[in-house]
Amino acid sequence: MDTPSIVLELRNVVKSFGAITAVNGVSLTVVKGSIISLLGPSGCGKTTLLRIIAGFEDPDAGDVLLGSKNMVGMRPYERNVGLLFQDYALFPHMTVQKNVSYSLRHRGVDDAAAKKRTAEMLNLVGMSDFAGRYPQNLSGGQQQRVALGRALASNPELILLDEPLSALDAKLRLELRTELKRILKTAGSTAVVVTHDQEEAMTLGERVVVMEKGKIMQVGTPAQIYECPQTRFVAEFIGRSNWFGGTLGGKVGEHRELLCKGFATLLIPEPKGGHNVYDACIRPEFIEVRSRGQAAGENRGGVANTIHGVIKEMMYLGSELEFIIMLEGGQEIIVIERNSRSKSRQRGDLVTLSFMPSNLIVIGRE
């Protein structure tokens, strides 16, 4: 099997603004044809990193390689990089067609080739019928498509997308996530997407890069990041979580005990790292809810952890029900249950919660 070629390589990139280190020793590779998401809270360094790749900022240290060429010191227009800005930055005095063809004409592509390529891009992003319109006569979603077509027109080695869906309303964002990924894959693009939205990062990115305080905390597929987070920060940032802390106890079959003071003893998978104190996370959707005294479901595949509580709040979310449940020890946890008309629950109900040890994410406490 051929080794995928590397389009972008960052080597120990550092960037500070005064006393604040925005990017702190970041190293990352992006292979040809892949889409990665840079994900993290505001101020984590993801946008600064994107600006360094684009050439709008110079790193204080480290290398930025596009292919085999170091881009440090080169201006944005000297890099074969396409950009999709957060606000799209379309030229209001130009038609859709002229916006898309702008980079081609700027690079000296002859009229016939530019016309052909522009038509291909308009078709790819579904805007052929709007070629003669101006940006102010388009919806937000249509403007986003035009901006993407313009960024792809010059066939860049790499395309950078800065919060590409943030300017759209929630419903349109959901609709365009899949469409944006389809367009990028159809074009054969290599892309880096910056976002603070978990679902957007996991939908668009084949790999997700989670950042905090200027550092990469974890890189992996969406499933790896969600199911096997390496730190508590990653676990809490990707998805919702309930935490139980305790000291390590004895072995029970293939499991270990986690002794949670004033609460309960949980069975957890055999932990790694040689710590004495661990935090165990269970995702809300992996908890089974049943009325107190009701028998557990069948074929659970082994011994389950069982705890008791009372429903404090209940939110109706259409296809799902979300509960805030107060446990007997006073801790509150979130549980998500698929909506079923056969179930009737309300505040104040006494419930029993069950979850499998294998669904617990166990992280040693430093």
**Which tens digit of pLDDT belongs to each residue from 326-361?**
998 889 999 999 887 666 788 999 999 999 999 999
Mean pLDDT confidence for 83-93: 87
Of 262, 230, 227, 269, residue with least CA distance to 248: 269
Mean pLDDT confidence for 152-174: 86
pLDDT at res. 71: 95
Mean pLDDT confidence for 223-238: 94
pLDDT at res. 106: 80
Mean pLDDT confidence for 191-213: 94
pLDDT at res. 297: 54
Whether pLDDT at 287 is above 80: yes
Distance CA 267, CA 254 (A): 10
pLDDT at res. 68: 87
Least confident of 30-44, 240-254, 290-304, 337-351: 290-304
Whether pLDDT at 299 is above 50: no
Mean pLDDT confidence for 313-323: 90
Distance CA 91, CA 107 (A): 17
Whether pLDDT at 146 is above 90: yes
Of 168, 170, 112, 111, residue with least CA distance to 145: 168
DSSP per-residue string spanning 261-272: TTTEEEEEEPPS
Whether pLDDT at 318 is above 70: yes
Least confident of 136-145, 150-159, 246-255, 338-347: 338-347
Domains, the chain, with CATH or none = 6-232 (3.40.50.300), 242-364 (2.40.50.140)
E strands in the chain: 6-17, 20-31, 35-39, 61-66, 69-70, 81-84, 158-162, 191-195, 207-212, 215-220, 242-252, 255-260, 264-269, 277-282, 288-291, 305-316, 320-327, 332-338, 350-355, 361-364
Angle at CA 108, nearest 5°, toward 77 and 106? 45
Mean pLDDT confidence for 272-293: 90
Mean pLDDT confidence for 309-316: 94
**Cβ–Cβ < 8 Å for 222, 208:** yes
Whether pLDDT at 250 is above 80: yes
pLDDT at res. 51: 95
The predicted model scores a pTM of 0.88
Mean pLDDT confidence for 246-272: 89
Mean pLDDT confidence for 88-114: 90
Average pLDDT over all residues of the chain: 91
Whether pLDDT at 300 is above 70: no
Distance CA 76, CA 331 (A): 52
Distance CA 99, CA 126 (A): 15
From residue 305, alpha-carbon distances to 257, 268, 277, 352 in Å are: 11, 9, 19, 10
Whether pLDDT at 62 is above 90: yes
